[in-house]
Amino acid sequence: MAAEDANDLRRALEKNEIIPYFQPLVELRTGLLSGFEVLARWQHPNRGLITPNEFIPLAEDAGLNGLLTGNLLRAVFAAAQDIPGHLTLSVNISLTQLTDFSLPKHIRAAAEQASFPLNRLILEITESALVANTEQAYRIATELKEQGSRLALDDFGTGYSSLRHLQSLPFDELKIDASFVRSMGHTRESRKIAAAIVGLGNSLSLTTVAEGIESQTTADMLLWLGCDLGQGWLYGRPVPPEQLPEVLAARLDPAPPIPEPRSPAADSTL
């Protein structure tokens, strides 16, 4: 990592250039909105929009993760003022954050300051974070759960010893990795794997979530398999906070508007 990159990120954090984007999560059976996943973006003055796969590792290396999460959560909870109370917010927790014993306290403080109830917060943890530092990670994850948030196992199927984590940690949600979901339409193997993961999640009474749904065919297959929630471009791309009202208006209104009765005069002009 170049030192100037770390300095650039430090500057970006001071200037609040790291912003939360929100991607809808939808109940497959009804199409109703169930919440949003928060996906961080760096709005760089010269380089444009930078995705998290580029700057999260940088933040980890530079020891800026705590600061990043703090800033991001403040922005998330501020934006949440516009989000109805029955919807959840999912936030990604990275590997090094699960070595930080002050993480639960920081999350609680940020939520309390914004009067955001912790039971609306879902914390997404990837398997790699659990594998890298199992004992610490388990203790921190358990504390996050005990203070009221829900836990999701993210990108399920891409790491290893996943089943052990499911047994040892009180997860609420299982997220099927997009790599299986995207290839469901093409290979029988992916369909079988997705079916097995949904079956596993259901038998453990976990909420199953499929990420990366891009087509209605895939959504239909997942619904048929018994998957609960979906996320992907079919339902909406991640949007910045200022576009939340628009997404909410479109997704919260289950019935199409009733058309105005047309007058005979108007009809005759058609």
Give contact residues for ligand C2E (rule: CB under 6 A): 23, 39-40, 51-53, 56, 72, 92-94, 124, 154-155, 178, 211-214, 231-233, 238
Among ligand C2E, Mg ion, none, the one that 34 touches (CB under a kind-dependent 5 to 8 A) is none
DSSP string, 4-73: HHHHHHHHHHHTT-EEEEEEEEEETTT--EEEEEEEEEEEETTTEEE-HHHHHHHHHHTT-HHHHHHHHH
Question: Which regions of the chain does DSSP assign to beta strands (E)?
Answer: 18-27, 33-44, 48-50, 88-93, 121-126, 150-156, 173-176, 207-211, 229-231
How does strand 88-93 pair with strand 207-211? unpaired
| Closest residue to Mg ion: CB criterion | 124
- Among the listed ranges 61-69, 74-82, 123-131, 239-247, the one in contact with Mg ion (CB under 5 A) is 123-131
Q: Which is nearer to Mg ion, 120 or 175 (CB)?
A: 175
Q: Is 177 exposed, middle or buried (0-12, 13-18, 19+ CB in 10 A)?
A: buried
149 contributes a contact to Mg ion by CB under 5 A: no
Tell me the one-letter amino acid at 184.
M
Sole binder of Mg ion in the list 154, 173, 194, 241 (CB under 5 A): 154
CB 212 to ligand C2E: min, Å? 4
* Residue located via tokens 């659990």: 130
Among ligand C2E, Mg ion, none, the one that 40 touches (CB under a kind-dependent 5 to 8 A) is ligand C2E
Alpha-carbon gap, residue 267 to 194, rounded angstroms: 51
3-class secondary structure, 153: strand
162 contributes a contact to Mg ion by CB under 5 A: no
CB 15 to ligand C2E: min, Å? 17
Helix (H) or strand (E) holding 191: helix 188-203
155 contributes a contact to Mg ion by CB under 5 A: yes
173 contributes a contact to Mg ion by CB under 5 A: no
Among Mg ion, ligand C2E, none, the one that 94 touches (CB under a kind-dependent 5 to 8 A) is ligand C2E
Q: Which is nearer to ligand C2E, 8 or 177 (CB)?
A: 177
* Residues near Mg ion, by CB under 5 A: 92, 124, 154-155, 175, 211
